[in-house]
Amino acid sequence: MSTPQPIIVSQGDAAGAGWFAFKEIIASPKKYLKPTGVDASLLHRLVVVGDLFDSEKAFVEKYFHTVAYSTKADTLDAHLADKKIKKPLFLKIHESKNLEPGKGNSLVALRSYHAFQKAMKLFQAHAQSSLVTLPVSKELIMKAGVDFTGHTEELARAFGVKVFMCMYHRRFSVIPLTNHIPLGQVSRKLYEISLGDLAAALRQFSALFSNKKKIAWCGVNPHCGENGRIGNEEEFVKRAIEDFAKKGIAIDGPISADAVFTKRVLADYALVLANYHDQGLIPFKALAGMAGVNTTLGLPRLRVSPDHGTAFSQTATKRVDVTGVLASLRFAAGYAQKWQQASQQQ
């Protein structure tokens, strides 16, 4: 039997909803995992990278096989191939003091940042791996003194590639063309987009999901600018669509954003290009609920994250929905190999 392809899991903020949901799944596999399909081998592929907190030692010792963190891919493969190991792996970075679920603080947030950095290095070192990043608090990480803009941006720098955030759901997906920037900067940033890089991302999307439906591009302004009366940014969209047509990529647009996400119109499209974060993320979260995932087009290997944050208040009351984390784990298990094949075709 070949060595299982590892699904590396960055612990995220250990006081937040992602880690809480992940532990729920690990503790109750019969409740959340099916005995067939990608679920059947999921537990045997999981490799968590994080800190071992005093308050969680009993849980980790019960449900994980704990070893010291290492970036060596062959060391990881040896653990995964060891038939004596029946549990998911936990790669321990440090032992840390107690934490209280739902009580975020900068020290725990800083540990989540270090866990992500360690997980990312292992992800880079292991050519067959995929990466699941559990949610962190960017605000608390920055309060700890780290200039951190997000997982997506850090992964792009680490791999030296141009990437695009893609919010995926089996019914439809959204690519926000600009990410975490003030709304006033969107118009200028659109003109900085490399259409060549975006074309590669769109081809990767089509190769991954055997896309038969069309692609739509939202207008920037309400009512697509009303022929310039309230804005001219749609001229960029029109020229870009013409450029893509020459590359053999058909895109409809610009389409008014308040129309494209209606049930009747959206049924025609597999993917919507949104010009700024909230233009795409608000309708995506409203329509996809917790089942959508955040993945990163442009990377040579698959990275995925649940479509929610740390949700400290919900974690404190133990009212955490595991849907997003479970969807991320299944996505990593089901698409890792196909992702690499699609990346190699670019």
Residue-by-residue pLDDT tens, the chain, 346 positions: 467 899 999 999 999 999 999 999 999 999 999 999 999 999 999 999 999 999 999 999 999 999 999 999 999 999 999 999 999 999 999 998 878 999 999 999 999 999 999 999 999 999 999 999 999 999 999 999 999 989 999 999 999 999 999 999 999 999 999 988 899 999 999 999 999 999 999 999 999 987 789 999 999 999 988 888 988 899 999 999 999 999 999 999 999 999 999 999 999 999 999 999 999 999 999 999 889 999 999 999 999 999 999 999 999 999 999 999 999 999 999 999 899 888 776 6
| pLDDT attached to residue 179 | 85
What's this model's pTM, rounded to 2 decimal places?
Answer: 0.94
Look at the alpha carbons of 295, 299, 300, 305 in this order and tell me if their dihedral is positive or negative. negative
Closest CA to 288 of 269, 270, 307: 307
Contact between 119 and 93 under an 8 Å Cβ cutoff? The reply is no
In angstroms and rounded to an integer, the radius of gyration of the C-alpha atoms of the chain is 21
Closest CA to 206 of 166, 235, 255: 166
CA distance 339 to 163: 14
CATH T-level fold of 162-298: Isopropylmalate Dehydrogenase (3.40.718)
Domain ranges of the chain: 1-161+300-337, 162-298
Q: Which residue has the tokens 């919900």?
A: 314
Look at the alpha carbons of 83, 332, 152, 159 in this order and tell me if their dihedral is positive or negative. positive
